[in-house]
Chain A
Amino acid sequence: MSGPERIRGEGLSHTYLTRTGETLALSNLDLTVRHGEFCGIVGPSGCGKSTLLAIICGLLQPSEGRILIDGVQLRSPSRRTGILLQKDHLFEWRTVLQNAELGLEIQGTGTAQARRRAKELLKLYGLGGFEDSYPYQLSGGMRQRVALVRTLATDPDILLLDEPFSALDYQTKLILERDVHAIIRRNDKTALLITHDIEEAVSMCDRVIVLSGRPGKVKNVYDIALTGCAERTPISSRDAPEFRGYCKRIWEDLEIEQRSI
């Protein structure tokens, strides 16, 4: 990938302060994600993945270093980025359509226009006919799809995915991985996927960054080059001859980390 840089983190460090002391969560981390790239971040628990995500979202200012989105230093959440979290966090008091419109509503898009866009996307992603349902009436996979539509409705260029598939059953997870991957590719978006799941990272990403245990630092970077699949999807990737090898190497990186905790 050689497109322009979309996300650039320089010397990111973050320390959490409490009454009893301080915890270093991230230490001097550099990161670059280029346009159109699907970049994965894996690491042992407590390696500061969530901290990193909050920083890239602009929800948390790093103690040291800086984060640039399209070359501009980030100080508050950018409209160019959208997030998808582990839980769908649908608002149970809103209907599916009202949930899908949330971002547009906050960003001040006119009601009629927001409604049209949300309806279009819901239909496109297989939720047509459920506009007036409440979240409790939907399955886990459908709920996560609504959350995806909510994020895509504001048309962000960069998607930050924080373990968005980990709460789903295996089959739903594969289908949603495939769909999200296709949506990001088709619409020429840039994605950063944070996950525990090594196979998910290797099957979806062009590049996987392995973080070390606390404090989080870059331990290894793998460019994922898979052969033998005409069109790369998270499902076809799993059949590539190189797939197992990447998973094994990343697993070994992480195992050493887990042992040292």
Chain B
Amino acid sequence: MSSAASNGFLARGAVSDRHARFLRSIRLRQTQVTVAQLAVLAVFLAVWQLAASWRIIDPFITSQPSAIAEKVLELANDGSLGYHVAVTVIETLIGFGIGTSLGIAIAGLFWWWDFLSDVADPYVVVLNATPKMALGPVFIIWLGATATAVVALAVSISLFVTILSVYSAFRQADPEKLVVVSSFGASKWQQFSKVVFPSAVPTIIATLKVNIGLSLIGAIVGEFLAANAGLGYLIIYGQNIFKMSLVMTSLVILTVIAGVMYYCVNLLERYLLPWRRS
């Protein structure tokens, strides 16, 4: 074997010495970035922990990592962690699913029937600009202080922005591609399914990325206002009984959930857009 094979894991898969040096340099950089990212987190947690232990900051106000870890274990043991996480995630996903699919469907309807889109245009624009959080009390009065009201808020927050951006992507489909399919005798439905919709998939993916975050905001704010379950409820409950460790724990879990959801949409993107050059 050449020396390329004996250069350790950083040069794994190298086909020559030169390739091994190249692989080592890019993998070394990747490793450095990851280590630095973890170091930032570790230093942050250590400073927080020590500052609270040495009473430089007041742990009653700021909580501290050890208290959060204890709280996570405590909530996990009595089963309430899984319950509240599940409530928030399910509300978010339902709101996300309804808001996104309804938004795409309405955008499709607008493409199909542009008279409708011209008529609806000012209403959609104004509704999009309205702060959806202000609708929270309305939903609670209409639907009660229930998970349904929370989902309604999560839907309303992503619906209008989805309609606007997806409809604009539908309209930007290449007219010459439409000529190509029309020359084969494509029906209007075929124009939509073969050209207009696939052209808009990159925009739809970008919209999904935005919407997953928006729906989570909608669900949390909804839980602030109305719910008796979910992470938003835990945060408000923690605030009311002045338990900072409960508030901080919920925040940390929320951050993890947001990260996981975003990662899932990224996976979906890689699966749906194999034709994008890397």
Contact = CB atoms under 8 A, between A and B. Distances in A.
A137 B275 CA distance: 9
A106 B275 contact: no
B275 A107 contact: no
5 contacts: A57-B179, A79-B184, A93-B273, A106-B194, A107-B184
A89 interface: yes
Interface string A89-114: 10111100000001101110000000
A16 interface: no
B23 interface: no
Interface in B165-202: 174, 176-177, 179-186, 190, 194-195, 198, 201
B23 to A, nearest CB: 24
Contact of A134 (B176, B181, B186, B274): B274
Contacts of B177: 89, 91
Contacts of A79: 184-185
Interface string B249-278: 000000000000000000000000111010
Contacts of B195: 91
B169 to A, nearest CB: 13
Interface in A35-77: 54, 57, 59, 76-77
A77 B182 contact: yes
How extensive is the interface on chain A, given as a class? 20 to 34
A132 B185 CA distance: 26
Interface in A147-197: 150, 154
A235 interface: no
Interface of A: 54, 57, 59, 76-79, 81-83, 85, 87, 89, 91-94, 102-103, 105-107, 134-136, 150, 154
Contacts of A93: 198, 201, 273, 275
Nearest to B202: A93
Contacts, number: 60
Contact of B180 (A76, A81, A83, A105): A83
A154 B186 CA distance: 13
Contacts of A85: 176, 179-180
Contacts of A102: 180-181, 184, 194
Given A59-B179, A89-B174, A106 B277 contact: no
Contacts of B180: 83, 85, 89, 102, 150
Nearest to A105: B194
A91 B185 contact: no
A87 B183 CA distance: 15
A76 B176 contact: no
A106 B178 CA distance: 12
Contact of B185 (A54, A89, A92, A106): A106
A255 to B, nearest CB: 30
A77 B184 CA distance: 7
Given A103-B184, A136-B275, A150-B180, 7 more contacts: A78-B185, A79-B184, A85-B176, A87-B176, A89-B180, A91-B177, A106-B194
Contacts of B174: 89
Contacts of B179: 54, 57, 59, 83, 85, 89
B185 A76 contact: yes
Contacts of A59: 179, 182-183
A77 B183 contact: yes
Nearest to B190: A106
Nearest to B191: A106
Contacts of B273: 93
Contacts of B184: 77, 79, 102-103, 106-107, 154
Scoring A92, A102, A106 by chain B CB atoms within 10 A of each residue's CB, the highest score goes to A106
A92 B173 CA distance: 13
B275 A92 contact: yes
B277 A136 contact: yes
Scoring A89, A134, A136 by chain B CB atoms within 10 A of each residue's CB, the highest score goes to A89
Contact of A89 (B176, B194, B201): B176
B170 to A, nearest CB: 15
Contact of A82 (B176, B183, B198, B275): B183
B186 A106 contact: yes
Interface string B135-163: 00000000000000000000000000000
Contacts of A105: 194
